[in-house]
Chain A
Amino acid sequence: MLEITDLVHSYGSHRVLDGVSIRAAEGELVCVVGPSGCGKSTLLRSVAGLIRPTGGRVLIDGQPVERIPDNLAVVFQDYSRSLYPWMTAANNVALPLRRRGLDRRRRRDAAMAALDQVGLADAAEKYPWEMSGGMQQRVSIARALAYRPSLLLMDEPFGSVDAQTREDLEDLVLRVCAHHGMTTLLITHDIDESVYVGDRVIVLTRSPARVAADLPVDLGESRDQIATRQLDAFVRLRAEVGRLVRGGSPTPTVLEKH
């Protein structure tokens, strides 16, 4: 579904991505984790078509990304600048749906349904600044959901909310992505989160970024904030990802299993 091949990007002479290849199958939730400043956002922005990478190829459903694809939605890290403060939550969610050719009523219905899914049916008429950070990020997720993309990109979507909210949002994303069968690329620097949320975890090296490892996550479909995090498999995988992010080399045992 998503094929990133040998992606290279430099800002001037500063090379940020150094041949990154990532594949995601239909409906898969792939987490990309890497040290801070290694080029994760650059990767996401190349996939989204917001920047033109220096080299390499990005295919979505076999189509090269040249302009911004119309079946793609993004949830940014900084929710406070992603929602439009001059519009209510419902209007923020409904605005992109014009492109889907829906009339006013159906845009509104779709927006309400999406807000309901993220548990914000009551907040439809609230403005972003009347909501907590977690609520704003949920509106942002609702906007992406209502848009019905086949590919969802998230750039550290839970980076700036508190721990409890973060867990709620992780479960929310797991639920809605499975429900809609969306292919999702979730970028994070949180090792725990990548293992908990992902079907697969891609670890990037320090800048310039390369793929250090591509680890399948064998934790089953349904996950639970307490129980899953206690599983041996979770603990082992988390340790492995942690080692890799810090620049260690892959442990043979973890890789051998696959």
Chain B
Amino acid sequence: MNVIRAVGRLWLVPVTLVAWEIATRAAGQPFFPPPSATLARMGEMWLSGPPAHLLLTEQAMSDFGPSLARLFAGWALAAVLGVAAGVAIGCSPRLSGYLDPLIHLGRAVPPPLLVPFFLALLKLGTPAQLATIVFGIIWPILLNTIDGARTVDRQHLETARIFGFSTAQRLTRVIVPAAMPKIFAGLRLALSLALILLIVAEIFAGSGGLGYRLLSAQRTYLYADMWGCLVVLGLLGYLLNSAFLLLERRVLAWHRSARQTT
């Protein structure tokens, strides 16, 4: 049943591909290579390596490796900073009184504008790139964590007080778990933003990686390469989101079930 339903939902994908193929072939524009050519180029670039390396080429390693490392490092860093700061701010009305205006100001700054600033402040390459990613994606994590920590059920907190939980217990066993559904929503949004900012950072603040490949392909009129990068970025975003949903489903099993029963 599930298979049939999945197929039912996926039929639009091949139809679109075929339509695109026909349209691009008919148009014959170099800027719009047919999907088949793009796919062939992608295989050539990234998947024609030795079987020992799972067919991955050297170029695949140098394109994906650093990009994925940056993506995850930036995301993890933003997660740690955002959750820690968010819990602290959410638990302290005084702190949030001071910081709320700053947070909303910071959030309103478009992150790409800060690339030059980070470049001046930090070294070209990884530090400036990470700073760009972290600064760009931390907001949904921070704001959601603050909201989650602020809206913990009063009775959950009173129970913690009655039974004399230590500060650490209160944070790790009550506040963070209670805020987890909101934290996860923030983390998921941040993950999709991270992919965007990764490309921004790689285009403006370094060499190597998918973003750089995309830029150089475009500059050298290698349109099939460029489209290959776009496709792979789309796929990457889709995969990351799916993987994250799986994780979320496991971690927040209590949340989904609790909501279904009450």
Contact = CB atoms under 8 A, between A and B. Distances in A.
Interface of A: 48, 50, 68, 70, 72-74, 76, 78, 80-82, 84-87, 95-96, 98-99, 127-130, 143, 147
Interface centre among A48, A76, A85, A99, by most chain B C-beta atoms within 10 angstroms, is: A85
A50 B163 contact: no
B162 interface: yes
- Classify chain B: how many residues form its interface, as a range: 20 to 34
A205 to B, nearest CB: 27
Interface in B210-262: 254-255, 257-258, 260-262
A220 to B, nearest CB: 32
B257 A82 contact: no
B257 A50 contact: no
Contacts, number: 66
A50 B173 CA distance: 20
B257 A72 contact: no
Interface string B156-186: 1011011111100100011001101000000
A3 B198 CA distance: 65
Interface centre among B153, B158, B159, B258, by most chain A C-beta atoms within 10 angstroms, is: B159
Given A48-B162, A95-B163, A98-B165, 18 more contacts: A70-B164, A76-B155, A78-B155, A82-B156, A82-B159, A84-B156, A84-B173, A84-B177, A85-B255, A86-B178, A86-B180, A87-B173, A96-B163, A96-B164, A99-B166, A127-B254, A127-B258, A130-B257
B257 A99 contact: no
A50 B169 CA distance: 19
Contact of B174 (A68, A84, A99, A147): A84
Nearest to A50: B158
Contacts of B158: 50, 74, 76
Nearest to B256: A129
Contacts of B161: 50, 68
A199 to B, nearest CB: 24
Contact of A99 (B153, B159, B164): B164
Contacts of B164: 68, 70, 96, 99
B254 A73 contact: no
A99 B163 CA distance: 8
A129 B258 contact: yes
Given A84-B173, A98-B169, A76 B159 contact: yes
A96 B262 CA distance: 25
B159 A86 contact: no
A248 B169 CA distance: 49
Contact of B262 (A98, A99, A129): A129
26 contacts: A50-B158, A50-B162, A73-B163, A74-B158, A80-B262, A81-B153, A81-B155, A84-B156, A84-B159, A84-B173, A85-B254, A85-B255, A86-B177, A86-B254, A86-B255, A95-B165, A95-B169, A96-B163, A96-B164, A96-B165, A98-B165, A99-B163, A127-B254, A129-B254, A129-B260, A130-B257
